Structure 1
Amino acid sequence: MDSNDRSQNRLNSWLQNVLVVVAIGLLIATMLNKGLSGDSWGWQRAEREVLVKRFNENLMLAKTEWLRRGRPGSVDLTTSDNRFVIKMNANGWPATDNGCLQLWQMLAGGRYQPETTVQPHRCNYRLSMDDSEEPLQLSYFSHSGQLK
């Protein structure tokens, strides 16, 4: 091999190395972009499940306290962060008279402020955690204590 062939081989080797580094860089950038911008790791879904679970757990705590205290018009509910006085309805569930947003903050807590609409004995919640996510839509029915 003469010097021309060796320099050509070095150039080819260098170009192959550059191509491999660029390909790996693009692959990493694509993975990071999908992982950070979307919910491909499921953290938003998990956070939604935690909010719903916390709402339902505190709902049941309020109902249990209502039964334990002899069915009063309101009960004290102590969560890990706060203490609340919750108005209860005749069926023993937190009443929508508390205000839908206030009810959400008392039972679900969290850092998100849902959009709320009120219907008789019903609170509708629309919670957007991220612009790319479809909003979580839930309804609380105070006559049955269900969050759907």
Structure 2
Amino acid sequence: MKKAIFDLKAKQPCIRYCFLLLFLFVTTESFSQNAGKVEVIAPPLFDTLLAKRADLNKGKKGGIAGYASSYGYRVQIFSGSNRTAAYNAQAKCNREFPELRTYIVYHEPNFKVRAGDFRTRIEAERFREQLKDYFPILFIISEKINPPKVSPAND
């Protein structure tokens, strides 16, 4: 009788392990991914906008330059939390240097006024020397710029 009880106790863990392995196999099969078909539904305007953006980035024929941007330098002429002071600094820079582009950037809680689109740091340093008389604190910032338009040379 003892032998029969011993055999019964030995079979129960074996059966449990078999059920555990069967359960793991079934769940992994049910969660595995099968190759399927993906259908993208986009409005027709989306394709038109993508084509327009490609045209602007590569430039149009006939000498009209498209929109392009690259990394360069700007001179920061103002940084503070007062919006009116930022606009005043921008107006002052536009009065003194009308050919120069100025940009206002807002990083909470400060407004920053940056001027110029310089390709090299040397150009930005030269312009910073000109601005010293008008603004007390100046920094040179490296960021994405709008490069100046280059006219083709007539040889």
- Normalised by the length of structure 1, the TM-score is 0.30
Larger radius of gyration: 2
Question: Whose relative contact order is higher, 1 or 2, with alpha carbons under 8 Å and at least 6 apart?
Answer: 2
